[in-house]
Amino acid sequence: MSHTNDLTSVDLPIQIQSDMMDQWFSSMIDHLRTDHFMLETNIASREKKEFYQAILENDSDKILTQMRRDSSQFFIKAIVFDYLSELKAANKNPIKLALGLSDSKILVWSEIKDDDEEMEDLLLITEAKINGKYHDKGFYINSTIIEASDKMPIPPHYQTIID
Amino acid sequence: MASFQNHIVQAKRNLSFLVSINSSHNEYWDWQVTVTFYVNVHVINAHLAQAADLHCRTHEDVKNAINPYNNSSLVRIP
Output the DSSP codes for A101-153.
EETTEEEEEEEE-TT-HHHHHHHHHHHHHHHHHHGGGT-EEEEEEEEGGG--P
What pLDDT is stored for residue A4 in this prediction? 44
Which of A93, A113, A101 is closest to A159 using CA atoms? A101
Chain B residue numbers touching A136 (CB-CB < 8 A):
72
Q: Tell me how far the alpha carbon of residue B58 is from its chain's centroid.
A: 12
A82-91 average pLDDT score = 94
Give B58-75 pLDDT, tens digit per residue.
Answer: 999 999 999 999 999 999
Q: What is the CA radius of gyration of chain A?
A: 21
pLDDT at A97 over 80: yes
Q: Is B78 on the interface with A (CB under 8 A)?
A: no
Q: Is B64 on the interface with A (CB under 8 A)?
A: yes
In a domain, B61, yes or no: yes
Hey, is A94 helix, strand or coil? coil
pLDDT at A103 over 80: no
DSSP secondary-structure letter at A98? E
Task: Specify the CATH number of the domain A76-162.
Answer: 3.30.460
In a domain, B9, yes or no: yes
Model confidence band, residue A10 (pLDDT cutoffs 50, 70, 90): low
pLDDT at A98 over 80: yes
pLDDT at A15 over 80: no
Query: Shortest Cα distance from A95 to chain B (angstroms)?
Result: 24
For residues A110 and A145, the answer to whether their CB atoms sit within 8 Å is: yes
In a domain, B71, yes or no: no
Which amino acid, B65? A
What is the count of residue pairs from A and B with beta carbons less than 8 Å apart?
22
Query: Shortest Cα distance from B65 to chain A (angstroms)?
Result: 10
Give A134-159 pLDDT, tens digit per residue.
Answer: 998 989 999 999 999 999 999 999 99
What pLDDT is stored for residue A70 in this prediction? 85
A50-62 average pLDDT score = 88
Query: Shortest Cα distance from B35 to chain A (angstroms)?
Result: 19
Q: The whole model's pTM is what?
A: 0.75
CA A51 – CA A64 distance, rounded (Å): 9
In a domain, B52, yes or no: yes
B36-40 average pLDDT score = 97
Chain A residue numbers touching B64 (CB-CB < 8 A):
131, 135, 140
Residue of B nearest to A140 (CA): B60
Which of A155, A148, A163 is closest to A100 using CA atoms? A155
In a domain, B31, yes or no: yes
In a domain, B72, yes or no: no
DSSP secondary-structure letter at B73? -
In chain B, the number of structural domains is 1
Which burial class, exposed, middle or buried, applies to B7 when counting CB atoms under 10 A from its CB (0-12, 13-18, 19+)? buried
Model confidence band, residue A6 (pLDDT cutoffs 50, 70, 90): very low
Which of A109, A106, A108 is closest to A137 using CA atoms? A106
Hey, is A78 helix, strand or coil? helix
Q: Is B60 on the interface with A (CB under 8 A)?
A: yes
Partner residue opposite A131 with nearest CB, options B64, B71, B72:
B64
What pLDDT is stored for residue A11 in this prediction? 65
CA B5 – CA B11 distance, rounded (Å): 10
Query: Shortest Cα distance from A56 to chain B (angstroms)?
Result: 40
- Cβ atoms within 10 Å, residue A135: 22
Query: Quick one: how many helices (H) and strands (E) in chain A?
Result: 4, 4
In a domain, B78, yes or no: no
pLDDT at B1 over 80: yes
Q: What's the distance, Cα to Cα, between the start and end of chain B in Å?
A: 27
Chain B residue numbers touching A129 (CB-CB < 8 A):
69
In a domain, B77, yes or no: no
Q: Is A48 on the interface with B (CB under 8 A)?
A: no
pLDDT at B32 over 90: yes
Residues in CB range of A116: below 8 A, 6 or more apart = A147
What pLDDT is stored for residue A3 in this prediction? 44
CA A96 – CA A147 distance, rounded (Å): 10
Q: Is B68 on the interface with A (CB under 8 A)?
A: yes
Instruction: Provide the residue range defining the domain that includes B60.
Output: 4-66
What pLDDT is stored for residue A2 in this prediction? 42
